[in-house]
Amino acid sequence: MKDWLHKHLEHIRLTLSRPDALLMLVMIGLLAGILSGGVIVLFRFVVEGTLASVLPGAHDENFEGLPGWLRLLLPVLGGMAIGLLFRHAAKGQTLMGVGRVLERLTYHQGYIGLREFLLQFAGAAIALISGHSVGREGPHVYLGAAAGSLLGQRLSLPNNSIRTLVGCGVAAAIAASFNTPLAGVIFALEVVMMEYTLVSFLPVMLAAVSGNAVSILFLGSAPAFVVPALEMGALHEMPAVVALGLVTGTVAACFIHLSQLFSRFGRAYPFWWQTTMAGLVVGLCALFAPEVMGIGYDTVNNALIGEYGLAALLLILCFKVLATSACGGLGVPAGMVGPSLFMGAIMGGIAGNLMNLWFPEVSSSTTFYVLLGMGAMMGASLQAPLAGLTAMLELTHNPAVVMPGMLAIVVANLTASELFGKEYIFISLLRSTGFDYRTSPVLQALRRIGVGSVLKKEFVSHDRIISRKTAEKLLSDEPEWLLVEESDRPVALMHALDLARHIQNAELQEGGIDEIDLMAIPAWREQIAPITLQANLQEALELLDRISVEALYVESAGTAGRYQIYGILTREQIESAYHY
């Protein structure tokens, strides 16, 4: 039974190593979506239940009801608690959230450990409960990605499929956060996986659906934001939409730049000092604008129905940018997606107020501009234009928002990236903390292909000393490669044809041969190194370059701890697979 199960799992792993193993990836993606949705539900129960039990009015976002001294003290104590938790449990790892997911995908094949998962869960919960100016979506993304990664690791799946499972977890997490499954799919593909292929689309889509279904089952189907009926603008409001995009892109660039400054400043101090200072900045800002505390969805909903005046909106925006930049730059382990929507909503509210003040006869509702601001800020600060547009569409169920939304998002993106030269917030913070983040289409393609899908199985192996009779028997199966072994481990690779040629030449000589030293006969031979069956082609190419060999043998642990060799992988095979 054990041997049968092992053989069946090995078949699954070999199948998943192919870049076109669609059906099996979809099935695994479904499991990842359910698991991620369950994790998100648990996280929200912990955070929202705790806040509802301690905040005035049993309201999980009513930080405004706290006295001023407590608004100052609570984030400071929370920041200190986060710092001490990471000091004693993180083993030097302080980067969390979406940036950490990107780093793990780029340099570690999407592997996320259980320790980091627990640290993100606890750290983000403390940050949100203590009122830091952060969002829950960043931790959701990390927790969802970690759930998918841990599932793949538990099943010992190939690394190319673990990468897809990370994307599935991200999509399920965003879908469960906002009840916007399509925005979850786009966010996962656009920001995290950075690819659009059929093999990635379908598993991620099903994961988003399953994660959203789990969220609806336990938390209900109420949307994250209550959007009133929209009064859409006419074409003569397009200049106002362009102006909103320009201002939003400028604010996004300021937000990213300020976050980088805080990050560089904080590097001179221990991590627990950084998080405590972030809490102090949030507490001071909350003395003047208590709306900056927490995720702020209540403030976004109030902006959507036009409850704030112009002066209040300007005050909230300034302090929100400052408080969120401090939290992001100083390493508070929570998210930037929610705050970007918050800031966008406030800017949209400012634009709506101004339009109603200057052009009351022809201006659209404030809700219209608030939604445009949310999409534009999400697109500009996160460099996720499609995700921002899709979120707007799913929140309003009104396709008329698409055209002005596209215009605002494009203008905001170009302003932040081209006019001010800012990369999106996650990459900016990665670079400011010392990570040299790089990716390319070639590496993306190699990561999608497992070594098990391109290896050559036409090989035989034998000790370096072989009898002529045994050699002829091995060659009768017409192998392409011959692995030369010493002490039961491969040490060299040679063409089987070279051995056949040597035997043929020896027959022409008087007396013939009885024994052959495979390391001494004239032949093309290369040193060879092992690589696991889980690896992808990017890992294989990096290994070839690092140890300066031209070939690898692919192995995996079999039953009773014995290693089984599955095939041969050369540099030419990797290049052929990429070109194909």
Q: Which sign does the torsion angle of CA 57, 174, 380, 124 carry?
A: positive
Residue 515 lies in a domain: yes
Q: Are residues 200 and 346 in the same domain?
A: no
For helices 385-396 and 402-414, angle between their N-to-C axes, nearest 10 degrees: 150
Q: Are residues 184 and 82 in the same domain?
A: yes
Residue 194 lies in a domain: yes
Q: Are residues 196 and 304 in the same domain?
A: no
Strand 551-557, strand 459-463: pairing: unpaired
Q: State the total domains in the chain.
A: 3
* Residue 296: predicted pLDDT: 83
Residue 443 lies in a domain: no
* Residue 3: predicted pLDDT: 57
Residue 179 lies in a domain: yes
* Residue 145: predicted pLDDT: 93
Residue 445 lies in a domain: no
Per-residue DSSP letters for 235-303? GGGHHHHHHHHHHHHHHHHHHHHHHHHHHHHHTTS-HHHHHHHHHHHHHHHHHH-GGGSS--HHHHHHH
Q: Are residues 39 and 118 in the same domain?
A: yes
* Residue 229: predicted pLDDT: 66
Residue 421 lies in a domain: yes
Query: Rounded to the nearest 5°, which phi and psi values hold at 341?
Result: -65, -40
**The total number of residues written for the chain in this structure:** 580
User: How would you write the pLDDT of the chain (580 residues) with one tens digit per residue?
Assistant: 555 566 667 777 777 777 777 888 888 899 999 999 999 999 999 998 888 888 887 677 888 888 989 999 999 999 999 999 998 888 877 778 888 888 888 778 888 999 999 999 999 999 999 999 988 888 899 999 999 999 989 888 888 888 889 999 999 998 888 788 888 888 888 888 877 776 778 899 999 999 999 999 998 877 767 777 666 666 777 888 899 999 999 999 999 999 989 988 888 889 899 999 999 999 999 999 999 998 888 888 888 887 888 899 999 999 999 999 999 888 888 888 888 988 998 999 898 888 888 877 767 778 888 889 988 998 888 877 888 888 877 777 777 788 888 999 999 999 998 888 888 777 777 777 666 666 667 777 788 888 888 888 888 888 888 888 888 888 888 888 888 888 778 888 888 888 888 888 876 555 556 788 888 888 888 888 888 888 888 888 888 888 888 888 888 765 445 678 888 888 888 887 766 5
Determine the Cα–Cα distance for residues 177 and 219; give it in Å rounded to an integer: 10
- CA 109 to chain centroid: 11
Q: Are residues 174 and 253 in the same domain?
A: no
What's the CATH code of the domain at 546?
Answer: 3.10.580.10
Of 226, 243, 260, the last residue of a domain is 226
List the one residue out of 131, 77, 139, 178 whose CA is nearest residue 294: 131
Of 432, 465, 493, the last residue of a domain is 432
| Enclosing H/E stretch for 80 | helix 68-89
Q: Give the bridge partners for 467, in sequence order.
A: 515
Q: Are residues 222 and 246 in the same domain?
A: no
What's the CATH code of the domain at 26?
Answer: 1.10.3080.10
Q: Are residues 103 and 239 in the same domain?
A: no
Residue 7 lies in a domain: yes
Determine the Cα–Cα distance for residues 180 and 328; give it in Å rounded to an integer: 25
* Residue 513: predicted pLDDT: 66
Question: What pTM was computed for the model?
Answer: 0.85
* Residue 254: predicted pLDDT: 94
Q: Are residues 106 and 50 in the same domain?
A: yes
Of 182, 204, 226, the last residue of a domain is 226
Q: Are residues 277 and 424 in the same domain?
A: yes
Residue 444 lies in a domain: no
List the one residue out of 349, 321, 315 whose CA is nearest residue 425: 321
Coil vs helix vs strand at 435: coil
For the chain, the distance separating the N- and C-terminal CA atoms, rounded to the nearest angstrom, is: 39
The residue range of the domain holding 395 is 235-432
Q: Are residues 397 and 475 in the same domain?
A: no
Determine the Cα–Cα distance for residues 56 and 54; give it in Å rounded to an integer: 7
Q: Are residues 289 and 339 in the same domain?
A: yes
* Residue 280: predicted pLDDT: 94
* Residue 560: predicted pLDDT: 46
Q: Are residues 186 and 278 in the same domain?
A: no
